[in-house]
Amino acid sequence: IMAQNGTPENGVPADPAALPLPQPCRITDIKHTKLFINNEWHSSAKGKTIPIFNPATGDKICEVEEADKADVDVAVEAARAAMKRGSAWRRMDVSGRGRLLHKLAELLERDRTLLAAGFPPGVVNIVPGFGPTSGAAIASHMGIDKVAFTGSVEVGQLIKEAAAKSNLKRVTLELGGKNPCIVFGDSDLQLAVQEAQKGAFYNQGQCCTAASRVFVEERVYDEFVRLSVESAKKIVAGDPMDPRTSHGPQINQQQFEKILDLVESGKREGAKLECGGHALQDKGLFIQPTIFSDVKDHMRLAKEEIFGPVQCIMKFKSQEEVIERANSTHYGLAAAVFTRSVDRAMSVSSALEAGTVWVNCYNALHAQAPFGGYKMSGNGRELGEYALAEYTEVKAVTIKLSEQLTL
């Protein structure tokens, strides 16, 4: 996830309207559907394929090769060979590796319209997803130093178990979250509404940092709900290939049904549906941006990771109360605090059990700042200097100096 707040200093015009509107990009030809192993395209060992559907239309796009255990073995052996002493990769100098990375960056830039389809304009978010089978298969075959995964807590548990059976190989796990967003009465309410909804509806809520628990101080609660509903009703849903769209479909039918089931649970358990709550159309996997108020801590909406466009707004009275409620979860990935008080911002940020805390903003992630979770939200850190440590072994060499040793 990359920061969305570009500035003139980093090349983004101060006025977004000054940016030229790109034309919708269409997928006309799928060139590669095979497994990419050892810099070559391969058919799967068992000839299995996975059908890929467009979630916006339900149309089948293509079929891609499905990797099995034998394919993973080949890939792992290729990785091991690449890391052996004397290999082409180990002999390549820094400038050579840099050229390859720059080439990758240029290719990503070339296809950014396709890669960013369905995301807010100007934002590219490329996050690898790993299912329980593929993640565990890779982890159980690890003969390499480090592997990083992004996925759910359930997937993370499988990976940790598999890694423990494989000579205790190290893994970095950035997993799920049920992230609290705390809005105090002294905050800039319009800003808090805007940022909280960015957190709730970004990528249709399919984001590990989603702001799915919004705690609002009692004295501004009603106004916050009113402004949030007004804002949600202005969100433009539609074709993710159209740059004017800011709300696209869910990723697949299974997730679509899970979200709607959680929405129904909210209605049954007594939360107040303020807007949305339904599928948008018969064709495609679109769900309306949905807001529930009067959400209670015991409800499924407040406990389970929804991974969908559902904003749960909850009321609190005191700072101590909201800190306790915010931390009352087995997750600990991200959190946010909205207040004009520096003292409150610092004290609450310190008390929250989360790897990342934003103050008066949301999803403001940068390559220089470490990112990762507390508790069941993961192990280790991505980004920043901390990420380099995850991929590095520190070696201590101790030499006893004596007259016999020549320097």
pLDDT digits (tens, 9 = 90+) for 248-260: 899 889 999 999 9
Tokens standing for residue 69 = 């255990």
Q: What is the mean pLDDT of residues 337-345?
A: 96
The whole-number pLDDT of residue 146 equals 47
Confidence class for position 407, pLDDT limits 50, 70, 90 = low
Pairing of strands 35-37, 378-379: unpaired
CATH of domain 8-174: 3.40.605.10
pLDDT digits (tens, 9 = 90+) for 277-299: 999 877 789 999 999 999 999 99
- In degrees, rounded to 5, the angle at the alpha carbon of residue 326 between the alpha carbons of residues 321 and 332 is 150
CB of 399 within 8 A of CB of 405?
yes
Range in 2-11, 210-219, 280-289, 331-340 the model is least confident about: 2-11
pLDDT digits (tens, 9 = 90+) for 116-174: 665 555 444 443 333 333 444 444 444 444 444 455 677 777 777 777 777 777 788 88
Is the pTM here over 0.75, yes or no? Answer: yes
pLDDT digits (tens, 9 = 90+) for 171-207: 888 888 999 999 999 999 999 999 999 999 999 999 9
The whole-number pLDDT of residue 266 equals 95
Domain ranges, ordered by start, for the chain: 8-174, 180-364
Active site residue 382: no
- Above pLDDT 70, what percent of the chain? 83
Which residue of the set 65, 174, 195, 390 is catalytic? 174
The whole-number pLDDT of residue 4 equals 40
Q: Is the pLDDT of residue 272 over 70?
A: yes
The whole-number pLDDT of residue 118 equals 58
- The CATH architecture of the domain made up of 180-364 is 3-Layer(aba) Sandwich (3.40)
The whole-number pLDDT of residue 192 equals 96
What's the chain's average pLDDT? 83
The whole-number pLDDT of residue 136 equals 41
CA dist., res. 344 & res. 195, Å (int): 19
Is residue 165 classed exposed, middle or buried when 0-12, 13-18 and 19+ CB atoms within 10 A define those classes?
Answer: exposed
The whole-number pLDDT of residue 183 equals 97
The whole-number pLDDT of residue 333 equals 94
**How many Å separate Cα 143 from the centre of its chain?**
27
